[in-house]
Amino acid sequence: MTTVRQLLERKKAEIYSVAPEAAVLEAIRAMAAHRVGALLVMRGEALEGIVSERDYARKVILMGRSSADTPVRDIMSTPVITVALDDTVQKCMQLMTDKHVRHLPVIERGRVAGMVSIGDLVKAVIAEQQAQIEQLESYIHS
């Protein structure tokens, strides 16, 4: 089974974040610029929360708040559900399903090491299934 460590090795390990005091508009602009659906909310190297497009839609737009005047700390999700480098794709998918989240920060020795998304997990599952199919076909034809 593929681990989070293996997932992060395959993708850019860039960590996109925003400060809790930043305006929500700044966070949304950063998400658009980086083409991601969520940002970590960090004070220095400390993870304080996570903010997603879903948070924006539900806690700003639907509540009639101003994106320019609302700080990220007011809409971020906390406590943050995290995973470790040695956790499996299966565990991550189960967490996402149970907790209704689409992004999981990865923590190593108390520090953020990256983030995995539902898209990352689906790609990994498809790759694993394709490899199994190829192995079975090879076995059948040999």
Residue 14: the pLDDT is 85
Residue 11: the pLDDT is 83
Residue 54: the pLDDT is 93
What's the whole-model pTM score? 0.87
**Tokens 């974040």, residue located:** 17
Q: Which domain holds residue 136?
A: 4-141
| Regions of the chain with pLDDT less than 50 | none
CA distance 109 to 47: 13
Count of beta carbons in the 10 Å neighbourhood of residue 65: 15
CATH code of the domain containing 22: 3.10.580.10
Query: Which of the 8 DSSP states describes residue 81?
Result: P
Residue 116: the pLDDT is 95
- What would the pLDDT profile of 33-62 be if each residue is shown by its tens digit? 999 999 999 999 999 999 999 999 999 999
**Tokens 């809790």, residue located:** 20
Residue 122: the pLDDT is 92
Number of structural domains the chain divides into: 1
